[in-house]
Structure 1
Amino acid sequence: MKGMHIVHTEASCGWGGQELRILSEASGLIGRGHRVTLLCPPESRIFAEATKFGVPVVALPIARKKLRGARALRAWLKAHRPDVVNTHSSTDAWLTALAGLGWKDAPPTVRTRHISAPTPTNGLTRWLYTQATRYIVTTGEKLRGELIARNGYPAAMITSVPTGIDDSRFGPADKAAARRALGLAEDAHYLGIVATLRSWKGHLHLLKAYAGLERPGWNLLVVGDGPMRGVLEDKARELGLADRVTFAGHREDPEQWLRAMDIFCLPSYANEGVPQAIVQAMLTALPIVTTPVGSICEAVEADASALVVPPQDPATLRLALQVMIDDPARAQALGAAARQRALANFTREAMLDRMEAIFRQLAEAGR
């Protein structure tokens, strides 16, 4: 079957699960014989990271909603004539829509909606999503349902495709070996979180829960970097936790850190689809404590493959962590169930199959 030319646009200069999803998906489809190009601002982190994933990248001035960006996009798209364009953030979605105005054979556009923040219900946004965009992909079924029920968008043009994780990279392994490789104590116990340090990931609530955790020998691993780092380090010192919390920063080897953990916790309170870190922890067979935010509970099932607690509730979060610590047999069973659920539903190959089919359908309809 003939390969397609797929273009991704990303205006965000940040770094997190959304950007990783774009690069993982793009590199996977390149591996399947497609031509994929990423268009993004030259100052963005994703521009610097793309080559590590083997993804061709072109710098365009699309970090802001300015006419210059729309003109640059239109000129590039007209010169290269891709089969389909996949937009990812508000700014590049609007610029791509403006670039297509009055262009009769403009390439069809897919809008991927990564987060659970409400989409505006005004007429201009409706035009963007249902007229300027040919198809919508969400990273969770709950996000899809909200666009249908709250925004009134046609169900037939929206599909949920959760981010898939490479199960050949993430999986259970020798904890002692992982800890030795990371310079961690082999005989200690570790609960941890892997996430960009943003407020809504709930790190502050985790620190408060951990501060009252009366379980000697348990340490906290905070893997990731971001705008909240200084605030979190200050809070750890304020709570007297500085010698028991490791701020590992951004890591290229999150699989090693997950293998070193005994329990994984993600106490998010907003803006989640199906978080990649949750699926990574599931594939690693870790016992998980999390919250029912966004589409998290499409990944884990409460009491079957994770313990689920209310968001922004450190006291209840602490109790759930204590349950995991005090009942290792139950914790192990939850971790094993989580791994099987992830293998059945959230692999990278499953994501690539579904996205490839969507792009193919639109590309062939546009010919």
Structure 2
Amino acid sequence: MKILHTEASAGWGGQELRILAEMQGLRERGHTLELAAPASARIHREAAALGFTVHDVPIARKNLRGVLALRRLLRSRDFDVVNTHSSTDSWLAALANALSPRRVPLVRTRHISAPVPRNPATRWLYNRAAAAIVTTGEKLREELREGNGFRDVTIRSVPTGIDPERFHPADAAAARAELGLPALFTVGIVATLRSWKGHRYLIDAVGQLRAQGQDLQLLIVGDGPQREALEAQVAAAGWSEVVRFAGHDPRPERWLRAMDLFVLPSYANEGVPQALMQAMMSGLPCITTSIGAIGEVARDGETALVVPTQDTQALAAAIARLQQDTGLRQRLGQAARAFALAHCTLAAMCDAMEEVFSSARAQPR
């Protein structure tokens, strides 16, 4: 198949990483993958660096220029399927497709759990303009079907797939030595530095434990709009020696291997977070919340510990529990990797997306 992905967002996080991973996985299976995105978007540069054909289109905002540009692209390239990812490019692609003499099946992927408007225009976009909808979690799928009433279109949950050879259990002490980190019990997070990822609660929780005499450090991997505020929080509390900001690294597995414990205290907008699945595939014991579709993979006491959102005390208690209980850490880590291997591999994601695209292409136009 010849598949066009569209992405309007200039951001960089799990959504963009999933798009590129999916494109690479399907390219290896013989499909042709191209991307339409503004030249200013980071995914535009990253996809080009991976050798994909990338089209510079003015789709960062909803406007007629974007519709016409996508219409020209669809008419000129003979795509079998278009896969849209953010709200803006989904609207522009749908309108461009509706105005084209030859319509291309449109698959809309919903990566996050933010509410979808309930109005006639949105019902048209999801129920009529889309040949299929993909969500990153079952809870998101059910909300679209039951909450929004989108029942005239196939909706399928396809969790983000992780490469088990790239993300695997490792000797944390050896990994810390390789990265030049202190030989301390290491709590870590890999996430874009956005407010709703909950970094500030994790910083406070680790600070409380340090004040109580617990010997541990915090590793924050990622970059984003909240970095300055989080660094100021750490500096004001005097915790700079035990909180390290590693920044963004295209090889997050290096840092995951250095962790004893992974924490993701998100309180909004999640589907099934890619970083959480990477940590689980790496065999790390995890602490997280049940926001969005996280509960589908993080089952309290089985594959992770689940705490209330925005609750520093509960977060600190869970960290202390796992720091003190080596057996529980091992059991949760092993169960997390077993779950990820059974449900969330890169191969499984590519299998599912191939089925979605093939089915969409076969629909009458």
TM-score by length of 1: 0.97
Match for residue 75 of structure 2 among 57, 74, 78: 78
Q: Which whole-Å CA distance do the structure 2 matches of 1:328 and 1:354 have between them?
A: 37
Question: Matches of residues 97-246 of structure 1 in structure 2 within 5 Å?
Answer: 97-154=94-151, 157-185=154-182, 187-213=183-209, 214-246=212-244
Question: Displacement of 1:173 after TM fit?
Answer: 1.5
Moved more, 165-174 or 212-221: 212-221
Moved more, 40-49 or 174-183: 174-183
Question: Displacement of 1:365 after TM fit?
Answer: 2.6
Q: Which whole-Å CA distance do the structure 1 matches of 2:320 and 2:175 have between them?
A: 24
Q: Which whole-Å CA distance do the structure 1 matches of 2:290 and 2:190 have between them?
A: 17
Moved more, 200-209 or 172-181: 172-181
Match for residue 66 of structure 1 among 40, 63, 66: 63
The answer to whether the 8 Å contact 2:127/2:152 transfers is no
The answer to whether the 8 Å contact 1:24/1:53 transfers is no
Report Cα offsets for 1:51-89 as digits up to 9, x if no partner.
343332111111110100110000011011100000000
Aligned to 2:294: 296
Q: Which whole-Å CA distance do the structure 1 matches of 2:50 and 2:302 have between them?
A: 35
Question: Displacement of 1:260 after TM fit?
Answer: 0.3
Q: Which whole-Å CA distance do the structure 2 matches of 1:51 and 1:75 have between them?
A: 21
Report Cα offsets for 1:96-145 as digits up to 9, x if no partner.
11102243531010000000000000111111111111110000000001
SS in structure 2 of the partner of residue 38 of structure 1: strand
Q: Which whole-Å CA distance do the structure 2 matches of 1:296 and 1:279 have between them?
A: 10
Same amino acid, percent of matched pairs? 55
SS in structure 2 of the partner of residue 329 of structure 1: helix
Report the AA paired with residue 177 of structure 2. R
Q: Which whole-Å CA distance do the structure 2 matches of 1:55 and 1:173 have between them?
A: 33
The answer to whether the 8 Å contact 2:130/2:153 transfers is no
Aligned to 1:57: 54
The answer to whether the 8 Å contact 1:135/1:158 transfers is yes
Q: Which whole-Å CA distance do the structure 2 matches of 1:346 and 1:267 have between them?
A: 21
The answer to whether the 8 Å contact 1:108/1:366 transfers is no
Report the AA paired with residue 305 of structure 2. L
Q: Which whole-Å CA distance do the structure 2 matches of 1:55 and 1:28 have between them?
A: 12
Q: CA 1:329/1:217 → structure 2, altered by over 3 Å: closer, same or farther?
A: same
Report the AA paired with residue 65 of structure 1. K
Q: CA 1:172/1:215 → structure 2, altered by over 3 Å: closer, same or farther?
A: farther
Report the AA paired with residue 205 of structure 1. Y
- Kindly report structure 1 stretches of 4+ aligned residues shifted beyond 6 Å: none
Aligned to 2:362: 364
Q: Provide the alpha-carbon RMSD of the alignment.
A: 1.2
Q: Which whole-Å CA distance do the structure 2 matches of 1:25 and 1:195 have between them?
A: 19
The answer to whether the 8 Å contact 2:47/2:54 transfers is yes
1:274 counterpart = 2:240: no
Q: Which whole-Å CA distance do the structure 1 matches of 2:45 and 2:213 have between them?
A: 42
Q: Which whole-Å CA distance do the structure 2 matches of 1:215 and 1:356 have between them?
A: 52
Aligned to 2:308: 310
SS in structure 2 of the partner of residue 69 of structure 1: helix
Report Cα offsets for 1:144-174 as digits up to 9, x if no partner.
0111111011176100001101111000122
Aligned to 2:351: 353
Moved more, 195-204 or 208-217: 208-217
Aligned to 1:11: 8
The answer to whether the 8 Å contact 1:202/1:269 transfers is yes
Aligned to 2:283: 285
Question: Displacement of 1:239 after TM fit?
Answer: 1.9
For structure 2, list consecutive stretches of 5 or more residues without a partner in the other structure. Answer: none
The answer to whether the 8 Å contact 1:148/1:155 transfers is no
TM-score by length of 2: 0.97
Aligned to 1:96: 93
The answer to whether the 8 Å contact 1:138/1:162 transfers is yes
1:37 counterpart = 2:34: yes
The answer to whether the 8 Å contact 1:194/1:224 transfers is yes
Question: Displacement of 1:361 after TM fit?
Answer: 1.3
Question: Displacement of 1:26 after TM fit?
Answer: 0.5
Report the AA paired with residue 279 of structure 1. M
Q: Which whole-Å CA distance do the structure 2 matches of 1:215 and 1:345 have between them?
A: 39
SS in structure 1 of the partner of residue 218 of structure 2: strand
For structure 1, list consecutive stretches of 5 or more residues without a partner in the other structure. Answer: none
Q: Which whole-Å CA distance do the structure 1 matches of 2:126 and 2:363 have between them?
A: 18
Q: Which whole-Å CA distance do the structure 2 matches of 1:293 and 1:362 have between them?
A: 30
Q: CA 1:59/1:366 → structure 2, altered by over 3 Å: closer, same or farther?
A: farther
The answer to whether the 8 Å contact 1:27/1:54 transfers is no
